[in-house]
């Protein structure tokens, strides 16, 4: 096993297990938390990587834990942490980690078991990537179509949602919410002898419909997609897989994918009303985990995203490399803008700013699918891992940053002030690891000035994670 010491004094502490489940009604607060902030910031993180017999191979395969910072409107802050009660974690504990399978970790299985796991419902429910609200339920998600519903106050797991399994074996943990219809839009890849992409819509945990579909010979790995009022936009990375080889190969899931830069990045625009493929554009090869936003400019389409030069970022995020302290100063991608002209076949690409960014967030409720000005994200600042927070004005590329010497900040989550008119009128929340103190804290920034107004201390370190959501009271 590869275990990081809890006394680690650099960013590697963020990859150490944290298996303590706690509930604290009041944690120490410095500064002043706005009284209008009521509800909770809930994050999901890979919190257990090490087991009696072995550790997971990749950061993306750690067992999912929820962490919640609660706000009661009086300036006080509570804290709670709890593992998702999933079949994946129960089996990992029972076998000492031998049964773990996922993104890049695979147990020893027979050929029959491997084929069965790809072309049948034997998929992981370790929902450690993102959170959302689907109808009246709060759900944790990963890249298989099994969301885990939980109570947003107690963090208790309530059920496994398998409705999306009817669309395919692979999906994204980055669905979009249609603010007008209330629908939850996502896409999936159905793997088999005749593979397909499917864009689908859901209104709650039991009803769903197909929006669009498209046959594909070698499905691409796509972690997210973009949405505008007219279009669902799929961005096919040139990282593709032969579904049959995926089924019978002896490698972990992502290791079956091949980088084929000659394909370029293919952007497909599906008409959300008719389901028709309206147009396809091609860009020079890059790799993208996260889109930032997309909007229509007359007949043209604009997509902003965080682009890596290739897919080597996946190998850089292997757990041994992260814990070994390798130089990962290139972990942040370049924020770029793709302009897709109605009469052209190639995308126009330009940088949004002269700095790198990952884990981007915007004022989503008001500006997703629309022209916007500000994006918040994480930046490596020349360090070995994402460290500081940045706010970019996409209209001119200017930016401001928040940073502290011993602090390693996680994804920024924007929360608008009730009744706000300005795009950046609100706060930005981020869970930050203080390596000198050996624990994490919740940072509250004024979103307009990007200056600190408060922080609340957690009782322990919170492992680095990916995404979270603010759920209003």
Architecture of domain 108-472 in this structure: 7 Propeller (2.130)
Q: What is the maximum alpha-carbon separation in the chain?
A: 59
Q: What letter does residue 181 receive in the DSSP assignment?
A: T
Evaluate whether 356 touches 380 at the Cβ level (below 8 Å): yes
Three-state DSSP string of 360-386:
EECCHHHHCCCCCCEEEEEECCCCCCC
Classify residue 172 by burial, with Cβ atoms within 10 Å: 0-12, 13-18, 19+: buried
* pLDDT, tens only, 264-322: 999 999 999 999 999 999 999 999 999 999 999 999 999 999 999 999 999 999 999 99
Lowest mean pLDDT, pick from 106-115, 169-178, 412-421: 106-115
* pLDDT, tens only, 83-95: 999 999 999 999 9
DSSP sequence for 287-299: EEEEEEEEEEETT
CA distance 287 to 291: 11
Q: What letter does residue 10 receive in the DSSP assignment?
A: S
Q: Which residues pair with 468 in a beta bridge?
A: 43
CA 246 to chain centre: 24
Model confidence at 361: pLDDT above 60:
yes
Enter the pTM of the model.
Answer: 0.94
CA distance 464 to 405: 17
How many angstroms separate the Cα of 438 from the Cα of each of 256, 366, 374, 412, 461?
38, 37, 32, 21, 6
CA distance 115 to 425: 51
Report pLDDT for 228: 97
Q: Which residues pair with 351 in a beta bridge?
A: 336
Evaluate whether 101 touches 107 at the Cβ level (below 8 Å): yes
How large a percentage of the chain has pLDDT more than 70?
Answer: 93
Evaluate whether 19 touches 53 at the Cβ level (below 8 Å): no
End-to-end CA distance of the chain: 42
Which residue is listed with tokens 């803008």? Answer: 337
DSSP sequence for 75-90: S-EEEEEEE---HHHH
Evaluate whether 440 touches 431 at the Cβ level (below 8 Å): yes
Report pLDDT for 302: 98
Strand bridging mode 77-83 / 63-72:
antiparallel
- Structure tokens that stand for 373 in this block: 């000005």
Evaluate whether 326 touches 319 at the Cβ level (below 8 Å): no
Q: What letter does residue 144 receive in the DSSP assignment?
A: S
Q: Which residues pair with 23 in a beta bridge?
A: 80
* pLDDT, tens only, 34-46: 999 999 999 999 9
Which has the higher per-residue pLDDT, 402 or 166? 402
Evaluate whether 105 touches 132 at the Cβ level (below 8 Å): no
Q: In 160-248, where does DSSP find H-type helix?
A: 243-248
Spatial CA neighbour of 268 closest among 259, 276, 277? 277
- Structure tokens that stand for 115 in this block: 């084929």
Q: What letter does residue 50 receive in the DSSP assignment?
A: B
Model confidence at 222: pLDDT above 90:
yes
- Residue 50 CB neighbour total at 10 angstroms: 19
CA 411 to chain centre: 9
* pLDDT, tens only, 374-410: 999 999 877 778 899 999 999 999 999 999 999 999 9
How large a percentage of the chain has pLDDT more than 90?
Answer: 81
Spatial CA neighbour of 446 closest among 352, 376, 394, 369? 376
Report pLDDT for 329: 58
Q: In what order do the strands lie in the sheet with 226-227?
A: 226-227, 231-236, 265-271, 277-283
**Domain boundaries of the chain, sorted by first residue:** 108-472
CA distance 63 to 60: 9
How many angstroms separate the Cα of 5 from the Cα of each of 2, 8, 15, 318, 461?
10, 5, 10, 18, 12
Report pLDDT for 3: 53
CA distance 22 to 125: 23
């Amino acid at each position: 096993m590869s275990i990081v010491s809890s006394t680690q004094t650099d960013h590697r502490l963020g990859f150490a297990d944290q298996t303590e489940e706690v509930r604290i009604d009041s944690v120490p607060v410095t500064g002043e938390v706005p009284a209008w902030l009521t509800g909770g910031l809930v994050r999901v993180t890979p919190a257990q990587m090490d087991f009696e017999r072995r550790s997971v191979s990749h950061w993306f395969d750690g067992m999912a834990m929820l962490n919640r910072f609660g706000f009661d409107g009086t300036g006080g802050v509570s804290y709670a942490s709890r593992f998702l009660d999933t079949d994946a974690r129960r089996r990992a504990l029972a076998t000492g980690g031998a049964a773990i399978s996922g993104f890049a970790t695979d147990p020893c299985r027979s050929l029959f078991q491997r084929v069965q796991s790809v072309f049948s419902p034997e998929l992981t429910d370790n929902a450690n990537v993102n959170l959302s609200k689907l109808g009246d339920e709060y759900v944790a998600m990963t890249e298989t179509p099994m969301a885990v519903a939980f109570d947003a106050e107690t963090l208790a797991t309530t059920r496994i949602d398998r409705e999306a399994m009817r669309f395919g074996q692979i999906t994204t943990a980055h669905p979009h919410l249609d603010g007008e219809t209330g629908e939850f839009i996502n896409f999936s890849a159905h793997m088999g002898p005749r593979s397909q992409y499917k864009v689908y819509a859901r209104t709650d945990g039991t009803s769903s419909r197909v929006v669009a579909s498209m046959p594909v010979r070698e499905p691409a790995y796509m972690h997210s997609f973009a949405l505008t009022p007219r279009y669902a936009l799929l961005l096919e990375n040139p990282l593709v897989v032969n579904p049959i080889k995926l089924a019978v190969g002896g490698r972990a899931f992502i290791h079956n994918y091949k980088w084929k830069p000659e394909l370029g990045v293919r952007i497909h625009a599906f008409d959300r009303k008719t389901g028709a493929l309206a147009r396809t554009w091609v860009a020079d090869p890059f790799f993208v985990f996260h889109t930032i936003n997309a909007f229509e400019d007359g007949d043209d389409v604009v997509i902003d995203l965080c682009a890596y030069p290739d897919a080597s970022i996946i190998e850089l995020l292997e757990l041994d490399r992260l814990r070994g302290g390798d130089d990962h100063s290139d972990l942040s991608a370049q924020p770029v803008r793709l302009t897709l002209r109605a009469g052209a076949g190639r995308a126009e690409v330009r940088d949004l700013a002269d700095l790198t960014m990952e884990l981007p967030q915007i004022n989503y409720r008001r500006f997703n699918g629309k022209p916007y000005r500000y994006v918040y994200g994480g930046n490596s600042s020349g360090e070995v891992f994402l460290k500081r927070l940045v706010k970019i004005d996409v209209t001119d590329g200017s930016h401001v940053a928040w940073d502290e010497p011993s602090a390693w900040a996680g994804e920024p989550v924007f929360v608008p002030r009730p009744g706000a008119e300005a795009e950046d009128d609100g706060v930005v929340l981020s869970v930050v690891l203080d390596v000198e103190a050996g624990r994490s804290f919740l940072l509250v920034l004024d979103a307009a000035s990007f200056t600190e107004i408060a922080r609340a201390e957690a009782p322990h370190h919170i492992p680095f994670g990916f995404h979270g959501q603010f759920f209003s009271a």
